[in-house]
Amino acid sequence: MKDLIEKLAKEAQEEISQAGSLTQLEELRVKYLGRKGSFTTLMTGLKDIPNEEKPAAGQALNHAKKSIEHELETKQQHLEKEELTKQLSDDSFDVTRPGTHVTTGHIHPLSQVQKEVEEIFGQMGFAIMDGPEIESEHYNFEALNVPKDHPARDMQDTFFVSGKHHENHGRMVLRTQTSPVQIRSMEKYGAPLRAIMPGRVFRYEATDASHDSTFYQVEGLLIDKDVSLANLKGVMTEFLTRLFKRETKVRFRPGYFPFVEPGIELDMWCLLCSGQGCRVCKNTGWMEFMGAGMVHRNVLKAGGIDPDEYKGWAFGFGLTRLVMMKYGIDDIRHLMSGDLRFLKQF
Ligand code: DAH
């Protein structure tokens, strides 16, 4: 048995050393070590030899197998290297040629900040709602307590969609604000309600560094039984502190919006000087941030909610303006320009 093993091992070694390709080498692996390979057959044959010869034969067999495995491995590495060298020296493969450059895009700064806003409000239990960009006059104005011919309609210059009329809801407009989603959410989900509604809005405006005909807002709405503006102050302080990752304070000033009563303007601490007063905030220490207030009874009614049972607050801020503040962008037109030189900075 021992002789047989030695003979076979020698034969295998020789063949391996002569193998000229990886395929040949694989054939040899199968021939000697495969399931039906010579060494496997010898291993099975062990049981038929006399007991006293078994240990020595077994040992010799294992030893031979190990050294063949080793040789196969070494030869394989050698052949692989050879093949690679051959490929590299082949004329059709120029290793000095620059590879194909794959450019990856990234999320637009407006969408990045929108996502951050959604995450922070999401953590505070607010749902994220959506509404149509082409709205009826009913949702964009009437239901928000802005009746026809009311001067408040002139606060926002509107794009009307020509020739489009809704059966009962008046003309169709490009929504001038995200506030109509308040009504749609109330109609759909009733009270209590806690949601933010980010989205694109449109105004018929002359374009300059701080005005564009298309921009983004975020609307907020909280309706419940025991709600006050104190809650709004807490929520907004927390929101801005988390967004800007440093302590931020807010203050209220009286303001007028037809859909709230009382209505307020909310200012936040100046991002540059945190309330100290600097050039950016014209030495006031504060920056205007958004409009808000207690939801008007008429608005709750328009949304199908009983104003004697529920009340709530609402707010609306400019997401576009927030992005400009966050990154110190001085011209609103950059954001919608699609100019890669601008976008690649974010
Ligand atoms: N929709 C207003 C605007 O575009 C912003 C606003 C003010 C929204 C007060 C509100 C609010 O919900 O309560 O100017």
Q: How many other C-beta atoms lie within 10 A of the C-beta of residue 83?
A: 12
**267 vs 96 pLDDT, higher one:** 267
198 touches ligand 1 (CB under 6 Å): no
Please say whether the structural domain 109-131+178-343 has been given the CATH code 3.40.640.10: no
Cis peptide before 192 (omega within 30 of 0): yes
- CA-to-CA distance for 219 and 292, rounded, in angstroms? 9
**Least confident segment among 31-40, 133-142, 286-295, 334-343:** 31-40
DSSP 201-254: EE-----BTTB-SEEEEEEEEEEESS--HHHHHHHHHHHHHHHHTS---EEEEE
Domain positions in the chain: 2-90, 109-131+178-343
Residue 212: partners with Cβ closer than 8 Å, 6 or more residues away: 205, 320, 332, 333, 335, 336
Q: What is the pLDDT of residues 213-228, one digit of tens each?
A: 999 999 999 999 999 9
What is the arithmetic mean of pLDDT over 269-283? 90
In the predicted model, is pLDDT for residue 175 greater than 90?
yes
- CA-to-CA distance for 147 and 258, rounded, in angstroms? 10
303 touches ligand 1 (CB under 6 Å): no
> 320: CA distance to ligand 1 center in Å?
15
**Least confident segment among 159-163, 164-168, 186-190:** 164-168
List the residue whose alpha carbon is closest to atom 13 of ligand 1: 292
What is the arithmetic mean of pLDDT over 274-289? 92
Mutation to probe ligand 1, out of 257, 261, 265 (largest number of atoms < 8 A from CB): 257
314 touches ligand 1 (CB under 6 Å): yes
315 touches ligand 1 (CB under 6 Å): yes
What tokens does 290 get? 């958004």
Q: What is the pLDDT of residue 103?
A: 85
Cβ(318)–Cβ(266) under 8 Å? Answer: no
Q: How much of the chain, in percent, has pLDDT values that exceed 90? A: 68
Q: What is the pLDDT of residue 108?
A: 96
List the residue whose alpha carbon is closest to atom 3 of ligand 1: 177
Cβ(319)–Cβ(113) under 8 Å? Answer: yes
Amino acid letter for position 207: T
What tokens does 237 get? 């302080």
Q: What is the pLDDT of residue 1?
A: 79
Handedness of CA 247, 233, 269, 220 (dihedral sign): positive
Q: What is the pLDDT of residues 67-101, one digit of tens each?
A: 999 999 999 999 999 888 887 777 677 778 888 88
Helix (H) or strand (E) holding 286: strand 286-295
Nearest atom (ligand 1) to Cα of 178 = 1
What tokens does 245 get? 């990752």
> 271: CA distance to ligand 1 center in Å?
22
Handedness of CA 284, 290, 294, 296 (dihedral sign): positive
Would the pTM of this model clear 0.85, i.e. be above it? Answer: no
**Least confident segment among 30-44, 182-196, 212-226, 287-301:** 30-44
**Least confident segment among 45-59, 116-130, 310-324, 332-346:** 45-59
In the predicted model, is pLDDT for residue 153 greater than 80?
no
Mean pLDDT estimate for the chain: 92
Cβ(221)–Cβ(295) under 8 Å? Answer: yes
In the predicted model, is pLDDT for residue 244 greater than 90?
yes
318 touches ligand 1 (CB under 6 Å): no
Nearest atom (ligand 1) to Cα of 316 = 8
> 257: CA distance to ligand 1 center in Å?
7
* Residue 150 pLDDT class (50, 70, 90 cuts): confident
What is the arithmetic mean of pLDDT over 195-220? 95
Instruction: Give which of 182, 128, 160 is closest to 296, Cα–Cα.
Output: 182
- List, in sequence order, the alpha helices (H) in the chain: 2-18, 22-33, 38-45, 54-89, 109-123, 137-140, 180-189, 229-244, 297-302, 319-327, 333-337, 340-343
In the predicted model, is pLDDT for residue 331 greater than 80?
yes
201 touches ligand 1 (CB under 6 Å): no
